[in-house]
Structure 1
């Protein structure tokens, strides 16, 4: 019966001989190409990857938001052909001589297809101009090193120069340990630049995606004039176990979820990914200085 099921499925390529062999030998299994299916971590359903991709990487059954790359998010949020990237060729060095760091960076570049854990630039969202930064967890878990900090700081300064609103999509495991104190300095550097943006009266919006943790949460992620988050996004500073061991108290279930933060006033709204572009457009229209 199982063999007949796979025979009818147009995505499975199994020869008639293989099917006959499978019926005679229970250990022979139909061929299923890699990457065709994904499992939802929330509802545990097995889904066609193509269906998930068509729905902007949102589970059609339970609404779980799978993680997106920076390039996928740019395609989703920015108007077609409107995005102009800043600092395209900027790459990390090894400021403290951390052993094996250069090799790891090279592997990450080859694997992820990007040169650092953030892509910055300007473009339009529903024809509204903005400077935008897109962090990517596929590159060393979106960790914030010198280049990430520098690219975001330059994007803030560009927003000031062009008198444009700034939007940052955050996802990060925190500061990058391979750069030591240089990574921690980026928290203050970006925060200082954002203060200059604020003094200019320009809008700053953050969109917290899964996961946003560590030094990113402790700095620019929570400094937005408007703070949005995707459903079920993990947002926090230290891990649950570390906090419990430090304060010697049991923490409530889901205390680092976007829903918990919304309930306790840390963020302004939770927005489904499929509604995110239209929501951002409305925010930009309302705060348009040229109206």
Structure 2
């Protein structure tokens, strides 16, 4: 073999060796990757099988809890209406009258923070004769304040004092009863709702022979309150002559009771046991 022929064979051998080395490298990498995936594929069914052995689905139940309380507070809306020939005078008169009414409420123990301004209106008033255009007769100013009496026993006396101080310009409306510590009543209703849902879920779990597992989710649904209205104070709705305030002050206020209900939805896991 000539020197020129040997020189042509050597590059060909080197290229073949490099190709073989590259093929071996690729095969090794593929084997390692395939082995890792195979191991994960083997472990996954085992873990799933173990989880299935512990839990067999879920159970969802709703429960309603109720709690009863006695209203201990009274709220109402106090309005003062004054009319004058011009807006400034009507405003001054309404403001002075409202201050007297609020001062009377303060003397009966109503705190300043429990009175809140809720409205102000200024309206022209006209006289409409049979013939001719309307005639402006003045301007009426109305100021409105919401009032909270924290002790229900003082409710009648507070209303009477405000009406006496405001005179015929006073209007009382929106009388209602409230529970001061509503959060405590709501907490009792929530606990009762969870107990009701748990009792139903336990009954179904026992019937199917599957132990009731851990709680997965709890969701609160509707919250409803039924508060009685003070029927004996309906005389104070609208116009109340000053002469009647003594009778109003002596009126007993029957609080009745307030019912609050809460509805919850609870989801449990069903444990399969061993």
Common fold by TM > 0.5: no
Structure with greater proportional helix content: 2
TM band (smaller chain): under 0.3
Please give the TM-score of this superposition, normalised by the length of structure 2. Answer: 0.23
Structure with greater proportional strand content: 2
Please give the TM-score of this superposition, normalised by the length of structure 1. Answer: 0.22
